[in-house]
A and B are shown apart, each in its own frame.
Chain A
Amino acid sequence: MSASSSPEPVVTINGTAYPYEPGDTVIRVAHRHGIDVPHYCYHPSMSPAGNCRICMVEVVGSPRPQIACKMACFPGLSVNTDSDLAHEARADTMQMLLVNHPLDCPICDQAGECHLQDYSYQLGSGRAVTSTPKTKLPKNQPFGEQIVYDAERCIKCTLCVRFCEEITDTNELSMGQRSDHEQVIMTSAGEFTTRYSMNIVDLCPVGALTSRDFRFRSRLWFMDFVPSVCTGCARGCNVTVGARMGKVLRLEPRENQDVNQWWMCDAGRLGYKHANSATRLGVPAVRDASGAWREATFEQAIQAASAALAEHRHEERPGHVLLDGGATLEEMWVARQLAAALGGEARFAAHVGDDGDEFLVVNEKGANARGAEALGLARVKNAADAGAAVLVIERDEHVPADLRAASGAVVAFVTDASHVPDSVRVAFPFGSFAERDGWLVNVGGRVQRLLGTGEAGPSAVQPFQAVAQEILLDLDAGHDVLDDAALETRLRAAPGLADLVWPPASREPAEVSS
């Protein structure tokens, strides 16, 4: 107990002393201080299972290595994560894990983000040490509608089972059989009752659980990934958006302890389909004299829009701008200026569901409804209030067909061409959540960054802020055009917004981790 002389208890890892809190395990302290300890079955949110044995570390003074995920810290404990003994223990563990593993990385969706693959490159010998044939187990087993299980790839870490027991408490999964026939089994009903089931696909350290939606769609190294937030509801779960060649392919949760911990709901994860719609509007379009649509350049369309809006203002029809509740603060800010020039105000509409739960999903589906309210935008709930000159729509459910038709708008910014109502004369493409940058305020008043990727959506879509300010210049020559940085400075200081929880000022995404 030599170390107990220091005021705070410490453990020594690789020769350096680190403080720990009561109940800490070695792996927690190591990870907190950025020391890599390999792990498969350990997850910070769940009870340690200690079954994969890859986290073994050398305990100084002891001939036997120990698993770091279950080893409690005590004063005087000294471990090495990088010594020969630790490496040897890991290499031996890998040998066991690979005895029956198919190593079919070339056709496995996990390849590229699989630690089994990584460590087998690092520690494996490239040659099998056993000559017995590998055990045959079920492949392509459906677990509910969205998940596919491959028992041969499974390393029996039980993370998926523990997720359904400890996190969702729905207990759909268990381990069945034993020894080399051990495999994950599902209740005979074969359906998940939890709406968070797909988190087990992310949890699975190998390619044993794959998402039916994403599997075989793309190799990971061809995709672009950006840290962003889900816009499926006002919770604003932090996500990583993966896209390739104009299509969003995958949403995965990103850790944020204040918002979504490590998780997201299945509906939010799969709620990107509108971004890939076959009827996406990719270029501006203007109605000609006969009422037929013609493709236009942004310059032409801006001119036409300014003319249409000037006429609209002249006729003294409602000059409001009606926004989708998922629009960013920047977009709302500019919309407010545009509306003022048209003699109206910026308003928003957003769907309100009834499926909120105690965990993540909330009834408010407008990802920035809270931001709109903070900016003082009125909420449009029915067609009678929908009158507007300009529409800004990403999701159909926020500004549904009846509101669109009742608006009488002459200019529309739409993600999907099918959302343009008959009254509109100029239509601009509007990026989906995966293509736009900006700030959103979640249901808890936290300002979070929506970040777009150039790999999603039609190319060369100009942001609403830029186009709307061009129109403003045409309508009101005195307008100062602001770029996003200038807009952000204004937003951070704006009444109603200044008191919200903003991340530190920088153009970096909010609170990126893992």
Chain B
Amino acid sequence: MNPRAPAAEPKDVAPRAPAVVPASFPPAELKATCEKILARYPTKMAALLPILHEAQAFGGGWVSPELEAGVAAYLDLSPAHVHGVLTFYSMYNTKPAGRHELWVCRTLSCWRRGAPELRAKALDKAGCTRTGEVGEDGRFLVKDMECLGLCEQAPAIWLDGVAHANVTPEGLEQLMDGCE
């Protein structure tokens, strides 16, 4: 009957990231566009993709956690759902982007016709070791992308939203040199 001190419960709860404060969305300059988009769809959820594109353009090429939460609140969606959609599509960025965005196709036709060399060249010129990263000078974000729909003119790339086909490493070098 000599009560021993109770053994302490093990505490190995991992530290957690603080909750983000949602950005107020849409900002004044996007209000009209967003409302137009909403009007096109039967439900708010259906408007998620185009709204995220707007948010990304507004955010300087990426969707920050705050912006993401703002979009979720705007469309009455759970932040988890929005994050799921955002990470499903490779066209959205969840990390700060570079001044230019370069996509290299990694699907079969391009891969068979020289995409690996283009990819290596792009990474080298951008000064990064892997795709999805921005080089130190902040110039390029290089990304792997699934088929760009230009298989008959493989290999293909997209640079800042413009498609280029039949690209050679030299051609790519020139294109990249033309970017500030």
Which of chain A's residues have a CB closer than 8 A to the CB of B4?
278-279
**B79 adjacent to chain A (CB < 8 Å):** yes
State the CA gap A186–B84 with chains docked (Å): 9
User: From residue 379 to 400 of chain A, which have CB atoms closer than 8 A to chain B?
Assistant: none
State the CA gap A15–B127 with chains docked (Å): 66
User: From residue 58 to 82 of chain B, which have CB atoms closer than 8 A to chain A?
Assistant: 65, 68-69, 78-81
State the CA gap A188–B69 with chains docked (Å): 9
Name which of A129-137, A169-177, A342-350, A497-505 contacts chain B.
Answer: A169-177
**B179 adjacent to chain A (CB < 8 Å):** no
Name which of B7-15, B105-113, B134-142, B155-163 contacts chain A.
Answer: B7-15
**B1 adjacent to chain A (CB < 8 Å):** yes
B134 nearest CB across to chain A (Å): 20
A176-B87, A188-B65, A279-B6 known; A142-B16 Cβ under 8 A: yes
Which of chain B's residues have a CB closer than 8 A to the CB of A295?
1
User: From residue 276 to 308 of chain A, which have CB atoms closer than 8 A to chain B?
Assistant: 277-279, 281, 285, 293, 295
Among B6, B12, B20, the one with the most A-chain Cβ atoms within 10 Å of its Cβ is: B6
Residue of B nearest to A273 (CB): B9
**B3 adjacent to chain A (CB < 8 Å):** yes
Residues B1 and A174 in contact, CB atoms below 8 Å apart: no
Residues of chain B at interface, number, CB under 8 A: 25
Which of chain A's residues have a CB closer than 8 A to the CB of B87?
176-178, 185
Residue of A nearest to B19 (CB): A189
Residue of B nearest to A189 (CB): B19
Residues B80 and A172 in contact, CB atoms below 8 Å apart: yes
Which of chain B's residues have a CB closer than 8 A to the CB of A186?
80
**A311 adjacent to chain B (CB < 8 Å):** no
Among A165, A171, A187, A190, the one with the most B-chain Cβ atoms within 10 Å of its Cβ is: A187
A420 nearest CB across to chain B (Å): 8
A177 nearest CB across to chain B (Å): 5
Partner of A190, one of B12, B16, B68, B69: B16
**A418 adjacent to chain B (CB < 8 Å):** yes
**A212 adjacent to chain B (CB < 8 Å):** yes
B136 nearest CB across to chain A (Å): 26
Residue of B nearest to A420 (CB): B1
Residues B6 and A188 in contact, CB atoms below 8 Å apart: no
**B121 adjacent to chain A (CB < 8 Å):** no
State the CA gap A155–B33 with chains docked (Å): 39
Residues B19 and A278 in contact, CB atoms below 8 Å apart: no
**B99 adjacent to chain A (CB < 8 Å):** no
State the CA gap A453–B120 with chains docked (Å): 64
Residues A176 and B83 in contact, CB atoms below 8 Å apart: yes
Residues A174 and B83 in contact, CB atoms below 8 Å apart: yes
State the CA gap A107–B93 with chains docked (Å): 36
Residue of A nearest to B80 (CB): A174
Which of chain A's residues have a CB closer than 8 A to the CB of B13?
142, 145, 212
A142-B13, A188-B17, A278-B6 known; A285-B1 Cβ under 8 A: yes
Residues B83 and A171 in contact, CB atoms below 8 Å apart: no
A142-B14, A212-B12 known; A176-B79 Cβ under 8 A: no
Residues A185 and B84 in contact, CB atoms below 8 Å apart: yes
- How many interface residues does chain A have, given as a range? 20 to 34
User: From residue 106 to 163 of chain A, which have CB atoms closer than 8 A to chain B?
Assistant: 140, 142, 145
Residues B5 and A188 in contact, CB atoms below 8 Å apart: no
State the CA gap A189–B14 with chains docked (Å): 13
Which of chain B's residues have a CB closer than 8 A to the CB of A293?
1
Which of chain B's residues have a CB closer than 8 A to the CB of A191?
16, 19
State the CA gap A158–B54 with chains docked (Å): 29
User: From residue 1 to 48 of chain B, which have CB atoms closer than 8 A to chain A?
Assistant: 1, 3-7, 9, 12-14, 16-17, 19-20
Partner of A187, one of B5, B12, B80: B80
B1 nearest CB across to chain A (Å): 4
Which of chain B's residues have a CB closer than 8 A to the CB of A281?
1
A278-B5, A417-B3 known; A171-B88 Cβ under 8 A: no
A464 nearest CB across to chain B (Å): 19
A142-B16, A187-B79, A189-B19 known; A175-B84 Cβ under 8 A: yes
A498 nearest CB across to chain B (Å): 42
Residues A187 and B84 in contact, CB atoms below 8 Å apart: no
State the CA gap A279–B7 with chains docked (Å): 10
State the CA gap A191–B69 with chains docked (Å): 15
Contact flags B84-119 to A (C-beta < 8 A → 1, else 0): 100110000000000000000000000000000000
State the CA gap A385–B5 with chains docked (Å): 32
State the CA gap A285–B9 with chains docked (Å): 28
A142-B16, A174-B83 known; A187-B78 Cβ under 8 A: yes
Which of chain A's residues have a CB closer than 8 A to the CB of B88?
175-178
A142-B14, A212-B13 known; A279-B3 Cβ under 8 A: yes
Which of chain B's residues have a CB closer than 8 A to the CB of A178?
87-88
A210 nearest CB across to chain B (Å): 13
Residues A418 and B3 in contact, CB atoms below 8 Å apart: yes
Which of chain A's residues have a CB closer than 8 A to the CB of B83?
174, 176, 185, 187-188
Which of chain A's residues have a CB closer than 8 A to the CB of B69?
188
Residue of B nearest to A172 (CB): B80
Which of chain A's residues have a CB closer than 8 A to the CB of B79?
187-189
A212-B12, A417-B1 known; A174-B81 Cβ under 8 A: yes
State the CA gap A173–B80 with chains docked (Å): 5
Closest 3 CB pairs of A and B: A171-B78, A174-B84, A174-B80
Q: Give me 22 A-to-B residue pairs in the complex whose CB atoms sit less than 8 angstroms apart, sorted by A's number.
A: A171-B81, A172-B78, A174-B84, A175-B84, A175-B88, A176-B84, A176-B87, A185-B80, A185-B83, A186-B80, A187-B78, A187-B83, A189-B16, A189-B19, A189-B20, A189-B79, A212-B13, A277-B6, A278-B5, A279-B4, A279-B6, A427-B1
Chain A contact residues, CB within 8 Å of chain B: 140, 142, 145, 165, 171-178, 185-191, 212, 273, 277-279, 281, 285, 293, 295, 417-418, 420, 427
Given A175-B88, A185-B84, A212-B13, 19 further pairs, Cβ under 8 A: A171-B78, A172-B80, A174-B81, A176-B84, A176-B88, A178-B87, A187-B79, A188-B19, A188-B65, A188-B68, A188-B83, A189-B20, A189-B79, A190-B17, A191-B16, A212-B12, A278-B5, A278-B7, A281-B1
